């Protein structure tokens, strides 16, 4: 017998604008609105959001401090900026970095004397947090509907995820128009993130019939919409479809976890935080599939079918090569066809990256169809250098 509980986040979709969500804030008095440092500020959404929260007649405080690859120091800084205000809800408007920071801030507010890294290392489990309402402005993280937060500790040079029930957002408001202003780079890198979540959860040793269905659908939606979103970011229907894909794979990883791509990616962006998570995954995706395909042929056949590759009557070898060709085309089309060395990683860094994978990405490694040795991890890194 197996027990399965799907996301505890209340999902509201089909929203035309933030104005449609007025009832969601009825029970709150003091609202912190957490955003990134730049994206929202330069988009026309900012004025609209400011107007909306002004119209609620409640106290609110904008904290626009979040940067990509957020750190424990950033969570502490946000706590310092908000503690005197004593919020009873945090509205996270942004991508994964903003939502993850909001989640950890929501715990820090309840337990101010506990370092958030203690949860990451598994020494503690928080039992309470203040509610977070996620309003994603990208379609990739999945954090808007799951209990996972990813955070970097700059002293330890580790980027890890933490999973606790109190990290489920209370509400997730899907407003496709909020993603219209995403540029091509953010559109493509976040879609690759969602696609990686779907593939890794599907081939995960912890995949179930439910997560497999979610992941399959997510892959289909991404492949059918990513080219159009990249070419014409103003198509609202396409943007909405990608939001759904992010939600589906976000729920899938909540149950089945991520795998080898994320296991190898986190150490890269922990040591080289100027690299975006999705760009790191785009560099890894083909090699990881090439190395792991033979350990999970049946599940990779499902991935291939979801991508539109005909598998019936075709050999495993030809399916693998069709998949690799498809990824080559996709990654090149999205202009993410890079090597690690293009982004500042050197040969001498590989040993440390592989050390990191085996020392702290163990959960993701264990989810993977096979658990590579440190030597074979170094080999994968060398092949993408
Ligand atoms: Fe991810």
Specify the pLDDT at position 42.
Answer: 62
In this prediction, residue 41 has a pLDDT band, given cuts at 50, 70 and 90, of low
With a CB cutoff of 8 Å and minimum separation 6, the contacts of 228 are 235, 238
Show me where the domains of the chain are located.
10-178, 183-383
Average pLDDT score over the chain? 96
pLDDT tens, residue by residue, 207-220: 999 999 999 999 99
Mean pLDDT (whole number) for 123-131: 97
pLDDT in the model for residue 201: 98
| Beta-carbon neighbours within 5 Å of ion ligand 1 | 193
Q: Do 183-383 and 10-178 fall under one CATH topology?
A: no
Provide the strand spans (E) within 260-384: none
3-state secondary structure 180-194: CCCCHHHHHHHHHHH
CA of 172 to the centre of ligand 1 (A): 18
Cα(84) to ligand 1 centroid in Å equals 33
How many angstroms is it from 42 CA to the middle of ligand 1? 25
The correct CATH number of 183-383 out of 3.40.50.720, 1.20.1090.10, 3.30.70.260, 3.40.50.150 is: 1.20.1090.10
| CATH classification number, 10-178, choose in 3.40.50.1970, 3.30.2020.30, 3.20.20.30, 3.40.50.1010 | 3.40.50.1970
User: What is the tens place of the pLDDT at every residue in 150-202?
Assistant: 999 999 999 999 999 999 999 999 999 999 989 999 999 999 999 999 999 99
Ligand 1 centre from 39 Cα, in Å? 20
CA of 57 relative to ligand 1 center, distance in Å:
37
Query: What pLDDT digit, counting tens, does each position of 303-330 carry?
Result: 999 999 999 999 999 999 999 999 999 9
Whole-number Å distance between alpha carbons of 240 and 283: 26
Q: How far is the CA of 96 from the centre of ligand 1 (A)?
A: 9
Calculate how far, in angstroms, residue 191's C-alpha sits from the geometric centre of ligand 1. Answer: 10
User: How far does residue 183's CA lie from ligand 1's centre (Å)?
Assistant: 19
For residue 58, the model assigns a pLDDT of: 96
Distance 26 CA to ligand 1 centre (A): 33
Q: How far is the CA of 22 from the centre of ligand 1 (A)?
A: 30
Cα-to-centroid distance, 316 and ligand 1 (Å): 27
Q: How far is the CA of 273 from the centre of ligand 1 (A)?
A: 14
**CA angle, 241 as apex, 237 and 247 as ends, to 5°?**
145
């Amino acid at each position: 017998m197996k027990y399965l509980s799907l996301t505890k986040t209340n999902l509201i979709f089909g929203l035309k604008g933030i104005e449609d969500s007025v009832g969601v804030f009825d029970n709150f008095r003091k609202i912190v609105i957490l955003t990134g440092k730049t994206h929202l500020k330069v988009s026309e959404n900012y004025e609209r959001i400011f107007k909306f929260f002004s119209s609620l007649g409640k106290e609110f405080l904008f904290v626009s401090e979040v940067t990509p690859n957020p750190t424990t120091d950033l969570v502490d800084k946000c706590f310092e900026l908000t503690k005197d205000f004593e919020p009873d809800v945090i509205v996270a408007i942004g991508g994964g970095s903003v939502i993850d920071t909001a989640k950890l801030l929501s715990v820090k507010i309840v337990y101010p004397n506990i370092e958030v890294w203690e949860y990451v290392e598994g020494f503690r489990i928080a039992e309470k947090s203040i509610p977070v309402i996620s309003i994603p402005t990208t379609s990739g993280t999945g954090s808007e509907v799951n209990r996972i937060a990813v955070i970097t500790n700059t002293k330890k040079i580790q980027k890890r995820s933490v999973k606790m029930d109190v990290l489920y957002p209370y509400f997730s408001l899907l407003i496709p128009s909020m993603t219209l202003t995403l540029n091509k780079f953010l559109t493509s890198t976040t879609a690759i993130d969602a696609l990686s979540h779907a593939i890794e959860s599907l081939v995960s040793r912890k995949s179930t019939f439910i997560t497999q269905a979610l992941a399959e659908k997510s892959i289909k939606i991404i492949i059918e919409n990513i080219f159009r979103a990249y070419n014409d970011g103003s198509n609202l229907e396409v943007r909405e479809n990608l939001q759904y894909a992010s939600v589906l794979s976000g729920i899938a990883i909540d149950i089945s976890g991520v795998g080898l791509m994320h296991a190898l990616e986190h150490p890269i962006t922990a040591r080289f935080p100027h690299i975006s998570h999705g760009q790191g995954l785009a560099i890894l995706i083909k090699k990881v599939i090439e190395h792991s395909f033979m350990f999970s042929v049946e599940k990779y056949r499902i991935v291939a079918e979801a991508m539109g590759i005909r598998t019936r009557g075709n050999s495993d070898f030809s399916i693998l090569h069709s998949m690799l060709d498809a990824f080559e085309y996709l990654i090149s089309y999205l202009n993410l066809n890079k090597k690690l060395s293009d982004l500042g990683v050197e040969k001498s860094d590989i040993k440390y990256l592989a050390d990191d994978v085996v020392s702290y990405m163990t959960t993701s490694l264990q989810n993977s169809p096979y658990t590579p040795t440190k030597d074979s991890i170094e080999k994968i890194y060398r092949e993408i250098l």
